[in-house]
Structure 1
Amino acid sequence: MPNTIGIVILIASTRFRPYNYTNQRKTQTRSMYLAKKPDYSKPNWLRISLAFGTSIFLWVMLFQQHQYDLAEYERRQESSIAKAHEMYLQTTEYKCD
């Protein structure tokens, strides 16, 4: 029964919309008279440098984050080993008494 209510609401909402709104295109189109073919003999150096610069920046940030994560992992590993060793020493002290 809930499915039929949803369908009725959907049909009612589409009926009250203007005709132009329901048939709008989702993609943009270019006129063939205004569209230009790219000129590969003259590269757009600004766009190229921005693309490569962004890529290099992201790789550097990824490498830095990886190095930070490795250092944090090693620090926590050493801390957990030290705690485990301390707990082991405490348990052996009680057994020796």
Structure 2
Amino acid sequence: MIVFAKKKKTTARRLLLHHGKLYAVFGRRQGRVLGADSAGFGGQFRVLAVLPVPESFHLASELRTQTSGLASPQLVFSHWEAPQVVLKSTPVTILHPRTAQAYEY
């Protein structure tokens, strides 16, 4: 996902406040910010982040609310990833067939 945050002529303090709120939204939604840079066109700031699909619902409205309309997301599918909760808590069970008939199935 790429989020573009428009830079208006404002103080650096206000700009950092909006970026902090942007990162807070991702944190609440179990997202990870992979990088951020200044896009060369139109004075925009670009943030690259990954976010679980269920957490992406209503993301645009929350980003606009938290950043006073300065941020707008562009959601693109990136990759599949097993949730960390599943990886840590799911026991692995190996079943061995006890009869020849069960082994055939």
Q: Structures share a fold, TM > 0.5? A: no
More strand as a share of residues = 2
| TM-score of the two chains, using structure 2 as the length reference | 0.28
More helix as a share of residues = 1
